[in-house]
Amino acid sequence: MTSGDRASAPTPESPLTRVDIGEVALATRVLPGSSGQVLLFIHGSLDDHHTWLPLTRALAGTGHTMVVYDRRGHSASTDIAGQGTIHQDADDAANLIERLDLGRVHVVGHSYGAGTAVLLATKYPHLVSSLYLHEPPAFALLAGRPELEELREQTGAVARESVALLDAGRIEEGTAYFVEEMAFGAGSWTDLFDDQARAIMMANSDTWLDQSRDPERLALDVTALNAFDGPVTFSAGSRTLPAFTAATTEMLRLVPGASGATIEGAGHGAPTSHPEELAAAIRRHLDSA
């Protein structure tokens, strides 16, 4: 995230507080709105709630109450010992919704957070009104298709190299390699993110390393969304990496009732690089909800 994006702090009415949801406590900001409707944001790998702040500012005119939080093991949230799973993250989101008495919420997810949102909606449909999903890393969908198998193998190779670097204690190198080769593209470590954002990602690298060992993290059953009764939108950046484009195309094929959106000029990091354009797409999605 650029230093200009980081400079605008949340309002004093939205302090960061830990919400005890039972097994862990999630660092959470609630930005009050006037409409009675709620937007819950779920961040992706290595990140925390800060990634959403430019987008929440761009969406302030919707009147929605907006809730951002750090997933377990990230930044100011707590964690427990043992292998973490994407199912725990989905359960955490459900517990947070219930603990804050938010009712049925609109969920915006990015990357791994979008995959978490899919599980949240399929496991707890009574808590979710709609889903806006920017580039879930559903790379398992690329398996078995000769024209896509090479992309899946490339993402696997990048993940394995990132794990090897982090296991060797090469924190900055391993994190930067993952960011540039898997997620945001060449040059993004220095061109897209400032010192604070890079520090956050390196601090969360142990949680990503744990997440990388969860066999279910990329094997999303997106077809389960065909039974979900709310609107679903999958979006991708026009300049994103090919694996995300292919996975998004497959998800739209498998969930024919879903809508698609393209964030012009953006890559995987649209919440950071193109918050206004992403906000416009989310507004259109909310208009259909």
84 in a domain, yes or no? yes
User: Total domain count for the chain?
Assistant: 1
What is the structure's pLDDT at 13? 55
How many C-alpha atoms does 154 have within 13 Å on its Cβ side? 14
Tokens of 56: 């929440």
Do the beta carbons of residue 171 and residue 179 sit within 8 Å? no
**Residue 190 amino acid letter:** T
3-state secondary structure of 276: helix
Do the beta carbons of residue 244 and residue 252 sit within 8 Å? no
Do the beta carbons of residue 110 and residue 42 sit within 8 Å? yes
202 in a domain, yes or no? no
How far is 48 from 222, CA to CA, in rounded Å?
A: 24
**Residue 116 amino acid letter:** T
52 in a domain, yes or no? yes
154 in a domain, yes or no? no
Report the CATH number at residue 266.
3.40.50.1820
Do the beta carbons of residue 42 and residue 66 sit within 8 Å? no
**Residue 201 amino acid letter:** M
3-state secondary structure of 133: strand
200 in a domain, yes or no? no
170 in a domain, yes or no? no
What is the structure's pLDDT at 123? 96
Domain span at residue 127 reads 3-145+216-288
199 in a domain, yes or no? no
Q: CA separation (Å) from 185 to 58, 177, 192, 193, 211?
A: 24, 10, 10, 12, 21
Beta-strand ranges (E) seen in 135-277 are 232-237, 259-263
How far is 137 from 112, CA to CA, in rounded Å?
A: 6
Q: Decide: residue 229, CB within 10 A, 0-12 exposed, 13-18 middle, 19+ buried.
A: exposed
Residues of the chain with pLDDT below 50 are 1-12
Question: Which DSSP string do the residues of 66-130 spell out, in sequence order?
Answer: EEEEPPTTSTTS---SS---HHHHHHHHHHHHHHTT--SEEEEEETHHHHHHHHHHHH-GGGEEE
What is the structure's pLDDT at 6? 37
157 in a domain, yes or no? no
**How many helices (H) and strands (E) are present in the chain, helices listed first?**
12, 8
